[in-house]
């Protein structure tokens, strides 16, 4: 298992490569947008860790990474 912030350079590619290799990929410690987290989930991320730790809160007009993970 590895935790990744998908907005960092190479983040989505790392999610794909690790998931394809059988690694459980978690999203955490991220400031990524809702859409980017959903893209990471589509790329193979399966877990969220440390919700709200270094993440923006949930807002009804901008659910952010926590909203995407939930």
Q: In a structure prediction context, what are the per-residue pLDDT tens digits for the chain, which is 70 residues long?
A: 999 999 999 999 999 999 999 999 999 999 999 999 999 999 999 999 988 888 888 988 999 999 999 9
Number of domain units in the chain: 1
| Cβ within 8 Å of residue 7, ≥6 positions away | 30, 31, 32, 33, 36
In angstroms, the Cα distances linking 66 to 6, 21, 28, 35, 69 are 13, 26, 9, 11, 5
Q: What is the pTM of this model?
A: 0.91
Full domain range(s) for residue 37: 2-69
């Amino acid at each position: 298992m590895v935790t990744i912030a998908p907005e960092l350079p190479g983040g989505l590619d790392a999610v794909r490569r690790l998931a394809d290799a059988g690694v459980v990929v978690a999203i955490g410690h991220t400031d990524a947008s809702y859409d980017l987290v959903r893209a990471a989930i589509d790329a193979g991320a399966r877990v969220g860790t440390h919700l709200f730790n270094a993440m923006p809160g949930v807002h009804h007009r901008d659910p952010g990474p926590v909203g995407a993970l939930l």
